[in-house]
Structure 1
């Protein structure tokens, strides 16, 4: 079952709210042969999470089917990069699992012991059965918080997003059945308003399509940190009038060019739908722009595209917050 995006957290009788975790959505099947972890795309992830399959074998009865989110904490915050390392760890997988153990945050029970299907039961009953199933479960299997209190929801959105890395809130009807493939839930992503430096554009200098963004690290180097959604007509016109072409500076007799390579390496983009390098136009990295971004990031870059708001020609690039993760409060203001 899926969630439709919304601009506000729904309120009303019969609605319950849960944190939206920044991880991998996984359905876990406990059968006679062990445990099968299936990603949202249908991929078998069982091999990469021996710590989770071991916990499920020990605590979950044969026939049960669980729905939840795989997460890994790093320095007290969810780390999407650590999840990805599980896939590429190779022979170091067991060591990685010991050093950065995963957690399976559970929010639904689709089948009970013996394979009894629960899809047609209301969410409240499925939740009650899930709570009973997890009474003696190890810490790696965690029941997600759930509330009807909007004060608690706002606490999650204002405090948990920065402290633990949740992306927002998922809202569900307590009476709803589980309908695979249907967007019968709602998801609200926390977004913040902040600043970044425009370091390049796709399209052209006169007609920019998207903006490539950067922030400085503690050494003063401008590092690539993300890309915007496509600009609308008014934004293209505004930005075209504010950008400056790249000017080569001189340092010790050698030209100092742009701090990023062109094309942008595929590994920098973080976009699964764009595995090839990204061609772009380098610009003078002197313009600050205001953006709206969610709180999901990896490798010190925003993982999802951000929304361009406006150019800030009167703001110095040295007034922009430091690179993601290098300054307290680096997310900006909710």
Structure 2
């Protein structure tokens, strides 16, 4: 492979903001919920690179074939691998594609083919486009994807912040993370936060039923969170993490009283059993996604309630995990049910692709 922009490429990043930026001249795109992917094509050679340098080509053979038909002979395209279903984007199904067995990968490629959404062009032919302004890169991207086959999409783009705000609200039910904002004059700067992203955020009161030690062994790394269903069963819904070193140490002392006799009668008692963990379906067990990480956990008596900030719920779990806002001694654990969570109606993906022409 011999391209003007060679792998690995560290994708350009965005800074999280709480409200949609409305500075004059900004351009807006939907924020897709999938695997960030930079596609390198040099004739018959195609490589799908991830944001962490993990090659994705072997996991998505159907995309390699599809992109070979959709893209020019020599180019580098930044985009997102997504799993489109009748009810929106499905990240859980997308994750299943990262399977170590080639036979399983081929089976899933046929049963649940992925799609690719392109949003930037880094190289075309012998030209490195990364120093060109985004508006020029976008025009070139539109030109090469004008007749793209099904499952290869050009991301919608608008200069109207009101349209972007409508996307942010209306298409959340389709599984979108939020909205991106970028300057039309910006070059492509690898691994730098030169764009902006606004994401959906909510809070929920969850039962703290366990924790994991931080990898340094000196503090709490994450809290295991649960919610009750209508039958009174406490389900694991995710974790709250990203604590400072000082806060990790403080949590050890705050949680200590709840560790006494915690496993006796614990609703997640089975997770302590090695055989129950073998399938990797329980938070205390290993899975092919854990890459050898220690996922052992410490039970806590389920008496503590935490208010947690999260983005959205998917398949009964907090997508991307949560962040601790505060503990709620005024709340009873039994009151922490799924009923408190917002239900967002699904939106049609087709509506987003067709509704706004490029500015």
TM-score of the pair, normalised by structure 2: 0.75
CA contact (8 A) 1:243 1:287 kept: no
How far apart are residue 224 of structure 1 and its match? 1.6
Find the counterpart in structure 2 of residue 117 from structure 1.
128
Structure 1: distance between partners of 2:322 and 2:235: 16
Find the counterpart in structure 1 of residue 312 from structure 2.
295
Structure 1: distance between partners of 2:119 and 2:148: 14
The CA deviation string for residues 115-161 of structure 1, in whole angstroms up to 9 with x for no partner, is: 33222221111111111211111121111122222222222322322
Q: Count residues with an aligned counterpart.
A: 317
Greater percentage in strand: 1
Q: Which moved more, 1:181-190 or 1:17-26?
A: 181-190
Structure 2: distance between partners of 1:185 and 1:217: 39
List 4+ stretches of structure 1 deviating above 6 A.
246-249, 268-272
- Asked if 1:39 is matched to 2:50, the reply is yes
Tell me which of 120, 145, 160 is aligned to 2:156: 145
Structure 2: distance between partners of 1:248 and 1:330: 36
Structure 2: distance between partners of 1:244 and 1:269: 31
Q: Residues 87 and 233 from structure 1, CA distance in 2 versus in 1: closer, same or farther, beyond 3 angstroms?
A: closer
Q: Runs of 5+ in structure 2 lacking a partner? A: 1-10, 214-218, 274-282, 346-359
How far apart are residue 208 of structure 1 and its match? 6.7
- Asked if 1:104 is matched to 2:108, the reply is no
How far apart are residue 107 of structure 1 and its match? 0.3
Please give the residue correspondences for 1:1-334 in structure 2 after superposition, counting only pairs within 5 Å: 1-8=11-18, 9-88=20-99, 90-112=102-124, 114-161=125-172, 163-202=173-212, 210-217=222-229, 219-229=231-241, 230=243, 240=254, 244=258, 256-260=265-269, 261-262=271-272, 265-267=284-286, 275-280=293-298, 282-295=299-312, 297=314, 300-322=316-338, 329=343
CA contact (8 A) 1:293 1:305 kept: yes
CA contact (8 A) 1:66 1:110 kept: yes
How far apart are residue 64 of structure 1 and its match? 1.6
Q: Which moved more, 1:228-237 or 1:10-19?
A: 228-237
Q: Runs of 5+ in structure 1 lacking a partner? A: 250-254
Q: For 1:6, what is the secondary structure of its paired residue? A: strand
Q: Residues 209 and 137 from structure 1, CA distance in 2 versus in 1: closer, same or farther, beyond 3 angstroms?
A: closer
How far apart are residue 213 of structure 1 and its match? 0.6
Q: Residues 262 and 32 from structure 1, CA distance in 2 versus in 1: closer, same or farther, beyond 3 angstroms?
A: same
The CA deviation string for residues 194-216 of structure 1, in whole angstroms up to 9 with x for no partner, is: 2211112457xxx9774321123
Q: For 2:148, what is the secondary structure of its paired residue? A: coil
Find the counterpart in structure 2 of residue 252 from structure 1.
none
CA contact (8 A) 1:3 1:170 kept: no
CA contact (8 A) 2:15 2:193 kept: no
Q: Residues 165 and 286 from structure 1, CA distance in 2 versus in 1: closer, same or farther, beyond 3 angstroms?
A: same
How far apart are residue 39 of structure 1 and its match? 1.2
TM-score of the pair, normalised by structure 1: 0.80
How far apart are residue 2 of structure 1 and its match? 2.1
CA RMSD of aligned residues (A): 3.5
The CA deviation string for residues 285-310 of structure 1, in whole angstroms up to 9 with x for no partner, is: 2433221012375x643343412123
Q: Residues 208 and 108 from structure 1, CA distance in 2 versus in 1: closer, same or farther, beyond 3 angstroms?
A: closer
Structure 2: distance between partners of 1:235 and 1:293: 23
Structure 2: distance between partners of 1:269 and 1:256: 30
CA contact (8 A) 2:14 2:192 kept: no
How far apart are residue 269 of structure 1 and its match? 12
